[in-house]
Structure 1
Amino acid sequence: MSQSVKPKSLNLKKAYPLFGIKNFRSTCFANSVFQVLCSLPPFVEYLKEVNPTDDMKYTKAMKEMFNLFLQCNKVGIQKEIIDPPPSMKEIIMKLQTESGQYQMDATEFYTTLINCLHTECKNKISEGEEAQQDDDGWEEVGKKSKKIQLRSEKTDGTSVISDYFRGSMRSLTITIDEMKKKHNQAVLQEFYVLSLPIQSKQNCVSCVSQAINLAFSKRKIDNTHFQQLFIEEAPKLLVLQLNRFIYDRVKLDVVKLVDHINYTESLQLKTNKGNVNYRLISIIEHRGNQIRRGHYVCYVRRGEKWYFCNDENIQLIEQKDIYDKMAYVLIYSSLN
């Protein structure tokens, strides 16, 4: 259903009620995501203004969840603990069942939730606009008048949610034929989360900027094919997942990389349309050494203050203390 609600510009100084959230069935992954989302003023303004219909079950559950945060009509840390409403518990348990595990990955839950919210509130597009998004592809003239076969995977329209949370990237494949001539083919892909490798064939990276450079460096597929990613459209909210879980060929199992990855308050992302500056506003940390076990906590910025959120417990912390965490997800807000 089309929604005309437009989120207001991000104001990091504006505070909203902050509560602990009850962990009812290994739901620390969901609680961390909720704390992050409810610390985003544009998203909160959308929840306050939207009137979901009965078929918008994800939006309705999220609005009911946030309404619990507003019950006391006070700002700051409260002693009360939020018990997620039945509608949200039903969604969480459904997603847990579909994933086959109680302990879902936080980014998996975040992506599914945001995508469902987008689907429910996306603007209706005309059949003519849909036809323009056909996957048959077209030609684009690139640098030095070289033609690039361009194909778009964007098929599901836009919404208030996608305008804020979603970005797009270009996947460029370079093929070298027998005559040593290059042929370029590009695919436009949308994303809510950027997954960053923190380990190369040589060694582990030491900071987020290195991980970004590694993710967007030219990669050799074989002797005649190369691939490289480029940011086409930077999202207003940049969610970076540090790819800590990799498959160990010796142990024949997924293991966690526990190396500390340095990150900073400010970040600049290079795109095809220029550089975009970001500011760190949230961190999700996975504690433990196994992908199927462990515990999720998060750190959220409220104005110039930072808070540690561990299910029911909320604590004020110093900003200097947030940079030594074993970050799994970093959330940055655009300053442009």
Structure 2
Amino acid sequence: MTLSWRHVKPRDDGGARDCVVAGEDGWSEEPCNRLHHWICEKSVDLDHLEAERNKEGSVMPTEEEEEAPSITEFHSSTHVLPVGQTARYTCHAGGTPEPTVEWLHNGRPLERDGTDDQSEAWVERGFLFVRGGRYGVNTVCCVASNSAGTANHSAELLVFDACDLTLDPNTANGELSLSEDNRKVTWVRGDQSYPDHPDRFDSRDQVLGREALTGRCYWEVERRGGVGIGVTYRGITRRGGGADSRLGLNNKSWVLLCDDDSYYARYNGRQTALPLPPAGSTRVGVYLDRPAGSLSFYRVSPGGGGSSDTLTHLHTFWSSFTQEDLLPGVRVWSGGSSASLCRV
């Protein structure tokens, strides 16, 4: 009798082996060293044992190969949330054994089908719900785990006071054209023949918002070309081309400068270079938390698979804001460049 093992390597030999032998009396186990020959042919390793039989000849179940979890689906209903409203999140994961999925809100695990009264977040039928009761950035995280490992996916949710902003035509420089109900500004060559007004920038290619910013306000700007997006006190100088009239060159204004080749944050003439977003990234989110003294800028990226957009933090300015009115400001500095206030 000759017994042959195939698809193994000689180095895999560990000594004596037990074999299942079929005979007239049925199946039995015999030590391999009782057999006449053992032939090992060099070949590739098997990924797993295909079958193992017991004495009765029945195939014994093999141990399932483990696979670490992976997040296969993550959807959010929104990336920004007016206070008082609710956002919903979905998370699915794959792996072997089937992973369990846990939700975290601001780093705190949430019980299944229970309400977290402190953070106003709860899990229901596997979905995570977050009620907009806590201003600022909320972090949600889906964690999948099994015996082979863990995987996670995080997202930020920004809770804010609703604010509907427009641009003030009385502040627009003569080389700026307003359109779309004063929500879009475009740099054009030649004077627009605006009437003279004390609030107008006569030398700087800038325009301010009409509505003052109060509380905690979030807005988004879709840009094309060279654009500065910022906030300024109402008292910024409107006349002349000095530093006191340009966004970011004085202590009255803060600005994010964006073009296709560079991103900079600037205040009072001090400039901070920022990582350049991926090509095609053209939307910027701005969040002013006046009570906390912070002004933050975000890159807004389109969501995939029906999910909402996502936020990536770019820069935060900190300041002890005075009681003077704060206004959104936009600078557009090259031909064809434009900025649009988006409806959030």
TM-score range, shorter chain: under 0.3
Point out which structure has higher relative CO (alpha carbons under 8 A, 6+ apart): 1
Higher relative helix content: 1
Higher relative strand content: 2
TM-score, scaled relative to structure 2: 0.22
TM-score, scaled relative to structure 1: 0.23
